Chains A and B, each alone.
Chain A
Amino acid sequence: MTLSGAVFGGGFCDAPVESARAFRTAMSALARPGEIGVMGGVHPPAPMSVAAGILVLTLCDPDTGLYLAGDMDTPEVRDWVTFHTGAPLVSANQADFALGRWQALLPLAPYRIGTPEYPDQSATLIAEVAVLEPSGAVLSGPGIRDSALLSVPDVAALRANAAEYPLGLDFFFTCGDRLAGLPRSTRVSEE
């Protein structure tokens, strides 16, 4: 297989500084569910969004297994991820990170949710969503003063995930150059 030029491009120009900025945006989003962060500066291959691409570059490396779900699993995406991060591509049940459209990531059952003694050994899902805005489901819990609104894709699934606390999955929702975080500690309910 030959690698096209696009594989080598589209990453960080100054990784130490750009990844530091990107991490701060991601950290703030996960620490404050409902907050929508904006990221830019990389050009991942379609169908990966800019925000998802930056998250992968910032968090994944040879120590983390990445699962590409559904139509995210293209040769271009595989090559780009492998070239820029060295992350091994794995199945859902081995993944530290999973990336795909929400529907393609389902069902959530196979992902690792940690163990009672090591709840941190759980997967983080990067879910591409068509809409990301501060409306819809009501969020409450750590990081949120009173309550916040976020257009999450699936209230029932996220509620079930939160019910496993302190085990469970953590989510980033990405849409274009924007992202929001939803840790397992967030309680999600319908409006």
Chain B
Amino acid sequence: MNAYNFAYLDEQTKRMIRRAILKGLAVPGYQVPFASREMPMPYGWGTGGVQVSAAILTPEDRFKVIDQGADDTTNAVSIRKFFERTAGVAVTERTIEASVIQTRHRIPETPLRADQILVYQVPIPEPLRFLEPRETETRKMHSLQEYGLMHVKLYEDISRHGAIATSYAYPVRVAGRYVMDPSPIPKFDNPKLESEAIQLFGAGREQRIYAVPPHTRVVSLDFEDHPFEPTKAEHDCDLCGAADSYLDEVIIDDAGGRMFVCSDADFCRGRREAGQSGAKAGALS
């Protein structure tokens, strides 16, 4: 891969992305259009996150990639390998060791520090898209802060189901201004959007970059009589016993037996290495 530039992208492309990142940080939650490039992996597979990572990585970084909370999911492996090859960066599976973390669908359980950056892969950056398919319209709605439609949608959920029926990609309002899609993270992760770390969001196919600076107010939309609830499976992790981490439900036998394990693989491993254990830890090792 030596024929390619440091971190794959050419310098002019990186500058274009960097300028978009700065505007994104200056207007938190606003989606900055950028001339997304065709990457050597498919659109929808993290090209936005990959372009943002390529624009921010330095040789000193230690890079972590997670998909569904795990480092060993195939697409995470593939993206990590891409940057090992093209940027020569060190990689890690440990959240606390990473300086840049690219993620799909999760925020790590371990609170992030000021010297870390979280890069999200975003499929559909427009939180209003499923209410209004036209970009020309949604852009107008953002400019006028016309977010009534979103509240109507959430309220319709309540009248039909008795509760807000959005469980992931749950919309948030950033710094009291823009309604933002936090990418398809489970709503359990929404409170972690208020962080010490810089959070950058890249949508390659949709050509948008947006950002949440550290210590920025991020409020999940809700109603007084139906407050926002970050929910998870009502279990403890069967491997490490954690009661406060997001869980994957795994079918373990033909009879449909289940076990619940931490989605954040590093968090779970860390706890087990520290001697914690869950209900099924012994039976499985």
Contact = CB atoms under 8 A, between A and B. Distances in A.
A59 interface: yes
Given A20-B6, A23-B18, A59-B15, A170 B58 contact: no
B214 A122 contact: no
Determine chain B's interface SS by DSSP, over half rule.
mixed
A30 B18 contact: no
A166 B27 contact: yes
Interface in A16-32: 16-17, 19-21, 23-24, 26-28, 30-32
B227 interface: no
Interface in A153-191: 165-166, 170, 183-185
Determine chain A's interface SS by DSSP, over half rule.
loop
B143 A117 contact: yes
A166 B12 contact: no
A134 to B, nearest CB: 16
A23 B56 contact: yes
B183 to A, nearest CB: 19
B11 interface: yes
Contacts of A185: 26-28, 175, 213
A141 interface: yes
A170 B211 CA distance: 15
Contacts of A119: 27, 30
A63 B32 contact: no
Contacts of B144: 116
Contact of B140 (A21, A58, A117): A117
Interface in A53-72: 58-64
Contacts of B58: 17, 20-21, 24
B179 to A, nearest CB: 13
A146 to B, nearest CB: 8
Contacts of B5: 16
B25 interface: yes
> What is the interface residue range for chain A against chain B?
35 or more
B56 A20 contact: yes
Interface string B1-34: 0000111000110111011111111111010110
B11 A16 contact: yes
Contact of B177 (A58, A122, A165): A165
A24 B213 contact: no
Interface of A: 15-17, 19-21, 23-24, 26-28, 30-32, 58-64, 96, 115-120, 122, 124, 141-145, 165-166, 170, 183-185
Per CB-CB distance, the 4 closest pairs between chain A and chain B, nearest first, are A183-B26, A116-B143, A16-B6, A143-B213
Given A27-B198, A31-B198, A59-B22, 20 more contacts: A16-B5, A16-B14, A19-B14, A19-B15, A20-B6, A20-B7, A24-B56, A24-B58, A27-B18, A59-B18, A120-B20, A124-B22, A141-B175, A142-B215, A143-B213, A143-B215, A166-B178, A170-B26, A184-B26, A185-B28
